[in-house]
Amino acid sequence: MAHVNVFDTTLRDGEQSAGVNLNRLEKMEIAKQLERLGVDIMEAGFPASSQADFDAVKEIADTVRGCSVTGLARANKRDIDIAWEALKGGAEPRLHVFLATSPIHMTHKLKKTPDEVVQTAVNMVRYAREKFPYVQFSAEDALRSDRDFLVHIIEQVIDAGASVINLPDTVGFTTPDEIGSLFRYVREQVPNIDQAVLSTHNHDDLGMAVSNSLAAVENGAGQIEGTINGIGERAGNAALEEIAVAFQIRQDRYDFQTGLVLKEIKRTSDLVSRLTGMQVPGNKAVVGRNAFAHESGIHQDGVLKEATTYEIITPAMVGIDSNRMVLGKHSGRHAFKQKAEELGFELNETKLKEAFASFKDLTGKKKEVTDDDLFAILTDTQTEHEDQPKYELKAFQVQYGSINRPTATVLLTKPDGEEAEKANTGEGSVEAIYNTLDDLIDADVHLQDYQLSSIGRGRDALAEVHVQLTVNGVKASGRGSAQDVLEASAHAFLNAVNRTLYQHKRHEGYEKVQV
């Protein structure tokens, strides 16, 4: 079976999803899990976009050894130089440089003639190749580009040193037959195409990203680009977990395979969902909570008699284990540490002690602590900055009644160590808490979005809240979990505010880009 490289862009294109703002620790945690998943190439970010992104890409490149780490760069020397500084410590430094090739982009965005675009692409690929052993060139908006122009520019950049050619459907416009036709055409018309790997990167605006990716592979693509859970700009990208499982289940149709460790899929999906705040729809293929649920009596009867009657994918294949070790109030530190490692977390002694304390506190409130509960505790602990000044909730109280206006009293510790207490009202209990926190925080804070969900099921399930704020004009996201909805809401609000204390971004020249 032919091997197809997996190019994961969760940390770059995925992070460009509206409302997603990962910090350095969160990016590193996802990067380590992507390494366990077995991706071939990991796009860690866009180093030239900000100091924070540069730092995160550099740390990931210096740490991850199981795959090639790459970063995005526009076709200019500044971006390429900054990317090299971030990536040069990687096990296999790689650059992803892009330039638009469609008439609409060249005319209205680049304001360059086709000849100028070709010359820029060639010069920048050649310049990048002086530093990087591997250079990928992306023809942005390839599916709306003139085919003969694509053939010409691809031939030129391969001669200049590009080893991977990406033909992205940047706006999610194409169909499987169209993209298949394009990849065949390029393979047949570019004389030196055997010197490069063709890559496919598809957006899901029309809901065909996965189908288009499969069609591209059938017609010569040796690399698939996508994200975990299909997150990304607008409607997102091709979902890598769906493609990998499709190859596995339909081996009769697809004579291809990836190096992904399928049993790591669910864990990776859960981690990305929790840290980005983008909930996985219940009916999402492969990883949705209903993917293996059977409501119909006929279906239930069939599955009980023989699972394959209605299940083409086994839960165990993607890492859903029904034989889970349950932890409770009598579980010790050793069992907790073992379970944390089983869930993919490597905690230092300080964080292990903190997480164990949170676990013990939860066992006093819940009879049975589930894997989902532990995952929430461990994720929060692992991605919390140590020894950083922050606002910390000490106590709160809410007075509420159907005929009374809700009133919240909050006591917190400020970053300078001073304790402060205030009270305020709101139309609802959450608003009363947020109005009070707003009074206590020394910043201009505005709530943009609020999402509430449960971790697990049952009346004692943890509540999880994700918020999006602007803090002094800077967008920030936060999350919080607790058995009480109001406490989770308060933690999420403070988490978002505290994140802004660690962000030191250089905004000059910053722009989110898409390929």
Element (H, E) at 383: none
The 8-class DSSP code of residue 430 comes to H
Cα 461 to Cα 466: distance, rounded to the nearest angstrom? 16
pTM, two decimal places: 0.88
Q: What is the amino acid identity at position 356?
A: F
Alpha helices in 366-470, H assignment, sequence order:
371-382, 429-440
pLDDT at site 142: 97
Q: Contacts for 443-448 with beta carbons within 8 Å, 24 or more apart?
A: 443/471, 443/472, 443/497, 443/500, 444/470, 444/471, 444/472, 444/473, 445/469, 445/470, 445/471, 445/497, 446/470, 447/493, 448/19, 448/475
For 145-157, what is each residue's pLDDT tens digit? Answer: 999 999 999 999 9
The C-alpha atoms of residue 39 and residue 272 are separated, in whole angstroms, by 15
**How far is the C-alpha of 445 from the C-alpha of 452, rounded, in Å?**
20
Name residue 130's amino acid.
E
The pLDDT > 90 percentage for the chain reads: 73
Confidence band for 300, pLDDT divided at 50, 70 and 90:
very low
| 464 close to 455: Cβ distance less than 8 angstroms | yes
Mean per-residue pLDDT, 480-503: 90
Among 204-208, 227-231, 471-475, 491-495, the range scoring the smallest mean pLDDT is: 471-475
Which pLDDT belongs to residue 495? Answer: 93
pLDDT digit string, tens, across residues 166-215? 999 999 999 999 999 999 999 999 999 999 999 999 999 999 999 999 99
Q: What pLDDT does residue 307 have? A: 61
CA distances from 477 to 19, 183, 302 (A): 7, 40, 44
State the average pLDDT for the chain.
91
Rounded CA separation 506/149 (Å) = 37
Residue 302 confidence (pLDDT): 54
Binding-site members for Mn(2+) are 13, 201, 203, 237
